[in-house]
Chain A
Amino acid sequence: MNTPIIERDQQGVGAVENGSGAKASLHGTKEDRMKIAKADYLQMYYYLRLTRALEDRVTVLYRQGRIAGGAYTSHGMEAISVGYAYALHADDVIAPYHRDMGAYLVRGITPGEVLAQYLGKRTGPTKGKDGNVHLGDLRRGIIAFVSHLADNLPVAAGAALAFKLRGETRVVVTNTGDGGTSRGDFHEALNFASVRKLPVVFFCNNNQYAYSTPLHLQMAIRDVAERAKAYAMPSEIVDGNDVGAVYLAAQRAIERARRGEGPTFIECKTMRMHGHSEHDSAKYVPRALLEEWKKKDPILKAERILREWGYATDSDFQAVQQRVIKEIDTALEFAERSPLPEGPEALDGVYADSEREGLA
């Protein structure tokens, strides 16, 4: 897709509060939601479904022992990355983390490429050099994820600095988990971006667990958004399972950044429904908590809203589901028939040639 979604002059409702105090907008108002055109909401719904279908297939492949390494999903958190990515322009840039499959897909990474990456095939975006969700492509405005959480936050700030230096109105969106906000790079990046009013939006997927560590052992504050206060950075808290709410919050922050008003921090409240990776049964998470959040599933929520607003019916949902399953089948066929790299290809690409390449 990658078409501009939002016109520059179209601003979201609700001014972002400045510095002190996050603006709680859990369960965005109906007024908020009516800001979203039917075609856009349906398109986001499609991406939610595509992300779910793709990652469900990854889980199956993992259990079948067909993935050599680890597998990480955004199951139950798809609305965050779909929502923020959908709010961007084609020439904007993302620096996602490992629960942002939706953003890859919205930015044009194909399910075939993702599955090829998981299977270690040469047709994956890293040609087998890296696995699972560690992929990027500057032509599609995607900075590849680094496992060391929050490493890409200073990098995102630097990309935003480049845009500012050149007088461009491009914006960078980056994301990390609640655990990632404990790292020094998180704080260095937010501080630097705020001091220099860089056009970058910092998302936090607060899914309440960093591997097995619950939020209360990760930080002594209740809301991650409080961290932004220390950097005089405006922040918002949104329902991370409401794709429309995420989209509108992203849109507000992105357009604010585009206007040169600096960075915003957005905390998305959600729940990690699978283990840290697919090998992890996550027995340390209370079952009741998972049952409670299952009812808040972002796809179910989107369907309720689409129905309520008269944007779609159950038969539309079934059609989308059939479509995405077909897409994933085709993608898997592509990945499976793709060649594996030859061993000596391990030696390629440590250094860039003197000719410039792959630069945005």
Chain B
Amino acid sequence: MTTATGAQEITYLEAISQALDEEMRQDPRVFLLGEDIGVYGGAFRITEGFQDKYGEWRVLDTPLSESAIVGAAIGAGMMGMRPVAEMQFADFISCAFDQLTEVAAKNHYRWGAAVPIVIRAPYGGGIHGGPFHSACPEAWFFHTPGLKIVAPATAYDAKGLLKAAIRDNNPVIYLEHKFLYRRIKEVLPEEEFVVPIGQAKVVREGQDLSLITYGAMVHVALEAAEILEREGIAMEVVDLRTLVPMDTDTILESVRKTSKVMVLHEDTKTGGVGAEIAARIAEQAFDALDGPIIRVAAPDTPVPYSPPLEAFFIPKVDDVLEAARGLAAY
């Protein structure tokens, strides 16, 4: 689709492809490895045509071995390469858990060896993927010092954060939301840009309450904010964009401004990222609060398959509205 000015709108998925393409073109150290990413172009077609352009070795099809994929990325990264490893679905990252938490995360701390790798993890539900193709795995890694985690919500951030992740000297888990792949698009700048890791963004201003979120839930939050505005409630929406290192300053600034806060995520509730955000707010901005810190998150179950079950499971606009109205009444 083109806009009135003739500029091309780019999907979230295309933005990821563009970032990979640009970094590979500019930096011969960058290479890709994963299952079915080469000949097939990836399960979601992110790397379609890449092998023709960059060859079999820079777009490396691997055996079905997530641990070896991440381990090999670590080894190549320590030897001066910039590997980008793809988990076909973020759910499968559990097979590489040990390489991420024990090797990648601890190498620099233990003996000063930087591990400049990116793990792309297509995550999230809403696509009827069921218990093994829908998970939000961020909490596992959020708890692991030494890893960085980014979770873009827009095509702009998807591109800019991936480029930043590839250039970072640390292991970065790049959470790309499958539901957003082809559903959102925007015109991106012609000139090159990166989005720095570690910076949240206030994507909608408001003074009555704050909603802190990331990933696909940013769009749920914005939709809810529109409705609330018609009810006379001005909700501020903060898109974290990066989960680790977390931009606590932006969160606290928003909380001090509105005095009421809700945390929203698609991941299950207990021990999720939202719990940590709530704790930080309670510790550092308790005096600014005029109401309880509310968490809106998925219930503590695996992600179910059947459409009505999945629709119930994933937090939706109505859940946010209900929580916001209750919070605004304080």
**Known contacts A138-B78, A189-B68, A192-B68; is-contact A155 B103 (Cβ 8 Å):** yes
A161 to B58: give the CA distance in the assembly, Å: 11
Q: Are B113 and A134 in contact (CB under 8 A)?
A: no
Q: Are B170 and A158 in contact (CB under 8 A)?
A: no
A278 to B103: give the CA distance in the assembly, Å: 25
Q: Does B220 contact A (CB under 8 A)?
A: no
Residues of B within 8 A of A137 (CB): 111
A192 to B76: give the CA distance in the assembly, Å: 14
- Separation in Å of the B87 CB from the closest CB of chain A? 14
Q: Are B114 and A357 in contact (CB under 8 A)?
A: yes
Q: Does A148 contact B (CB under 8 A)?
A: yes
Q: Are B80 and A155 in contact (CB under 8 A)?
A: no
Q: Are A358 and B113 in contact (CB under 8 A)?
A: yes
A149-177 toward B: CB 8 Å interface, digit per residue (1/0)? 00111111111111111100000100000
Q: Are A130 and B113 in contact (CB under 8 A)?
A: no
Could you tell me how many residues of chain B have their Cβ less than 8 Å away from some Cβ of chain A? 43
Choose one: B60, B62, B113, B145; the contact of A144 (CB below 8 Å). B113
Q: Are B65 and A161 in contact (CB under 8 A)?
A: no
Residue of B nearest to A170 (CB): B79
Choose one: A129, A161, A166, A185; the contact of B75 (CB below 8 Å). A161
B65-95 toward A: CB 8 Å interface, digit per residue (1/0)? 1011011111111111101000000000000
Residue of B nearest to A190 (CB): B68
Residues of A within 8 A of B111 (CB): 125-126, 129-130, 134-137, 144
- Quick one: which of B275-328 are within 8 Å of A by CB? none
Residue of A nearest to B83 (CB): A158
Q: Are B63 and A93 in contact (CB under 8 A)?
A: no
Q: Are B109 and A129 in contact (CB under 8 A)?
A: yes
Q: Does A191 contact B (CB under 8 A)?
A: yes
Q: Are A129 and B74 in contact (CB under 8 A)?
A: no
Q: Does B8 contact A (CB under 8 A)?
A: no
Among the stretches A12-20, A242-250, A296-304, A347-355, the one at the interface with B is A347-355
Residue of B nearest to A195 (CB): B63
Report which B residues bind A (CB closer than 8 A): 31, 57-58, 60, 62-63, 65, 67-68, 70-81, 83, 98-99, 102-103, 106-116, 145-146, 148, 168-170
Report which A residues bind B (CB closer than 8 A): 93, 95, 125-126, 129-130, 134-138, 143-144, 146, 148, 151-166, 172, 184-185, 188-189, 191-192, 195-196, 349-360
Q: 8 A–B contact pairs at CB < 8 A? A: A146-B103, A154-B75, A158-B76, A161-B60, A185-B71, A350-B146, A352-B169, A358-B114
